[in-house]
Amino acid sequence: MDYAQITSQVQTALEDLLAVAQLKPGQIVVVGCSTSEVSGEKIGTSSSLEVAAAVLKGLLPITAENNLFLAIQCCEHLNRALVIERECLERYGLDEVTVYPVQGAGGSLPNQAMKAYKDPVLVERIQAHAGVDIGDTFIGMHLKPVAIPVRGKINTVGSAHLTMARTRPKLIGGERARYQCQ
């Protein structure tokens, strides 16, 4: 397994997403990742802390540089709870839950995030402004309601399928509604 390549692929994907999403400082990027899928195995069968570390190494510097909050989605065993920084919890008025993600229940990437974050906490749900899904982990439940697919330069990380999305505000009104000043 080429961990440097995984880090590089994650960086490319995130940079592509941010170029399209045009996020503002303090907004949230949610990431779901099956390290099993990255390794070429079936989701949930071959969790890897080393792959998780390589993925996180690609995410943390870019989100920090752009002053974004990074929400890491746990697996289905923890109902896809999310690891975030306490500062994000406080800014967005979220409710903390008590659990600690581990390799076999929660996932390797959330476990690594717990170790890397300054003040990690878990929440059950979030409404992120953009997201990266590595290995079809279904992050959609944690995006704002109007999600728009983003296509980047790559469509895999390791062996895992990659999808990304940005969000936009809902368009409301009827046939006479305007969406920009004229």
In a domain, 175, yes or no: no
Greatest extent of the chain over all pairs of C-alpha atoms, in Å: 56
In a domain, 127, yes or no: yes
In a domain, 102, yes or no: yes
In a domain, 179, yes or no: no
Rounded CA separation 154/163 (Å): 10
Question: Please, which residues bridge with residue 17 across strands?
Answer: none
Burial class of residue 41, CB neighbours in 10 A (0-12, 13-18, 19+): middle
Q: pLDDT tens digits for 142-161?
A: 999 999 999 999 999 999 99
What is the domain-level CATH number for residue 144?
A: 3.40.50.10360
In a domain, 72, yes or no: yes
In a domain, 66, yes or no: yes
End-to-end CA distance of the chain: 54
Question: Are 122 and 101 within 8 A, CB to CB?
Answer: yes
In a domain, 106, yes or no: yes
Q: pLDDT tens digits for 8-43?
A: 999 999 999 999 999 999 999 999 999 999 999 999
Tokens 């290995």 — which residue?
135
This prediction's pTM = 0.94
Domain span at residue 125 reads 3-167
In a domain, 181, yes or no: no
Query: Which H/E stretch holds residue 57?
Result: helix 49-65
In the chain, how many domains are there?
1
Q: pLDDT tens digits for 73-128?
A: 999 989 999 999 999 999 999 999 999 999 988 999 999 999 999 999 999 999 99
